[in-house]
Amino acid sequence: EGFIFWQAMDDSADGQTYAERYKVCAFPHIAIVDPRTGRSLWKKEGWTQVKPFTAENFAEIAMDFCSRHSFDKDPLPPVKKSATPNINGERKRPFMSENEQMEAAVAASLTSSNHDGKSKGDEDECIMEDDNYEIEFLGTRDGLVEADSEEKKPSFLEKLLSVEVGDEPADGARIQMRMPDATRLVRRFGKNDAVKMIYAFVAQNNDEAKKGKDFMLMAGFPPKDIVGDLDLSIESCGLNGQAVTVRWKD
């Protein structure tokens, strides 16, 4: 057993197609996709420097995953299909080379599939990790349960709009926000407030953001996206007295 690693930036065409197809809610994002069906079997996303997800963490999960899943077992198909038995009544499993597996995985992940069918299973098949990880149920004794049918999770922007920013403190970290329309907002935040508070303030004070338009915050020189610092304090990130630039993602 092994893995083929495929990577794409979230602003690339392939990355955007993948994010829409698999309903990615936050970045960074990593997932395990079955190359035979294109089904997402496990995913983890939105980790930070405070709550990191390391290579060692993934290695442990990958080892456990391989112990639970194998190409020697038939995958749970997205649609009900009739098996084509051979003369001995057994289903044939085509052998794929590493290059063929990579091509199949990429193609399957970028192609929409019909998920209306159900298939019977003798046992529950799921991936159970600790509370920090996503859990996707792939099948039950009563039939296939689609991951896509789960209750829709709120988007990152929807979460920001629900954050209680609170009153502006008399003394705190002064942040200047340069908006896409060239206007500027200046506000003080608590020095120990998380960087997420700046995102929430921008989202709640811009009409386009309120309507669902995604944005990013850039700071420093050269400017870089600070989404990875969401849970860190404004003071620890050196943003006190600094200017951040708001850019639309489109």
Please compute, for residue 114, the number of CA atoms within 13 A of its CA located in the half-sphere on the CB side. 6
What 3-state DSSP class applies to 188? strand
**Confidence at residue 100, expressed as pLDDT on a 0 to 100 scale:** 63
Task: Say what percent of the chain tops pLDDT 70.
Answer: 68
pLDDT digits (tens, 9 = 90+) for 143-163: 444 444 456 788 888 999 999
Q: What distance in Å separates the CA atoms of residue 57 and residue 138, rounded to the nearest whole number?
A: 23
**Confidence at residue 123, expressed as pLDDT on a 0 to 100 scale:** 34
pTM: 0.42
pLDDT digits (tens, 9 = 90+) for 19-50: 888 889 888 999 988 888 888 888 998 888 88
Domain boundaries, the chain: 13-149, 156-248
pLDDT digits (tens, 9 = 90+) for 118-147: 443 333 333 434 334 344 434 444 444 444
Assign 234 a pLDDT band (cuts: 50, 70, 90): very high
| Domain spanning 156-248: CATH 3.10.20.90 | yes
pLDDT digits (tens, 9 = 90+) for 194-221: 999 999 999 999 999 999 899 999 998 8
Tallying the residues shown for the chain, one arrives at: 250
The first and second tokens of residue 128, run together, are: 């159970």
Question: 10 Å Cβ neighbour count for 41?
Answer: 20
Burial class (CB in 10 A: 0-12, 13-18, 19+), 33: buried
Tokens 């057993």 correspond to: 1
**Confidence at residue 143, expressed as pLDDT on a 0 to 100 scale:** 44
